[in-house]
Amino acid sequence: RLSHVVQQSRLQNNHMDAASTDVLLALTAPEPVVRYVEQRVRSAGLRVARVPATATVLRVSAPSATLEREAEHLELEKRLRPEARSCASERHWPMREFVLAQRADFAGAGEGGFFTPSERVFLVTALLEAVPVDNASFSAALAAGAVREVPPRHLSSLLRALASVGLLGEVSAAHCAGRLEGWRRSVGLLREWAWLRSSEPLALDAIRDYWGERTGFLFAWQAFYVQALAPPAALGLCIWWRRPKGTSVDDDSAVPVFSLFSVVWAIFFVQLWRRKQAALAFRWGIHDAHTAQAEVRRPEFVGREVVSEITGEVELVEGRGSRALRYAA
Q: What is the SS3 assignment for the chain?
A: CHHHHHHHHHHHHCCCCCCCCCEEEEECCCHHHHHHHHHHHHHCCCEEEECCCCCCEEEEECCHHHHHHHHHHCCCEEEECHHHCCCHHHHHCCEEECCHHHHHHECCCCCCCCCCHHHHHHHHHHHHHCCECCHHHHHHHHHHCCCCCCCCCCCCEHHHHHHHCCCEEEEEECCCCCCCHHHHHHHHHHHCCHHHCCCCCCCHHHHHHHHCHHHHHHHHHHHHHHHHCHHHHHHHHHHHHHCCCCCCHHHCCCHHHHHHHHHHHHHHHHHHHHHHHHHHHHHHCCHHHCCCCCCCCCCCCCCEEEECCCCCCEEEECCHHHHHHHHHC
pLDDT string in tens for the chain (329-residue length): 444 444 444 444 544 444 567 888 998 889 999 999 999 999 999 999 988 777 788 999 999 889 999 999 888 888 888 777 666 555 556 778 888 888 888 888 776 678 888 888 889 999 999 999 888 898 899 999 888 888 777 778 899 989 988 898 888 887 765 555 555 555 555 554 455 555 555 678 878 877 788 888 998 898 899 889 999 999 999 988 888 787 777 788 888 999 999 999 999 999 999 999 988 888 887 754 444 444 556 666 777 888 877 767 777 788 777 778 877 76
Give the model's pLDDT for residue 171: 87
Per-residue pLDDT, 55:
75
Q: Tell me 101's DSSP state.
A: G
Q: pLDDT by residue (tens digit) across 62-107? A: 998 899 999 998 888 888 887 776 665 555 567 788 888 888 888 8
Name the pTM for this structure: 0.67
pLDDT digits (tens, 9 = 90+) for 193-234: 455 555 555 678 878 877 788 888 998 898 899 889 999 999
Which residues lie closer than 8 Å to 276 by C-beta, 6 or more apart? 220, 224
pLDDT at res. 39? 94
pLDDT of residue 38: 93
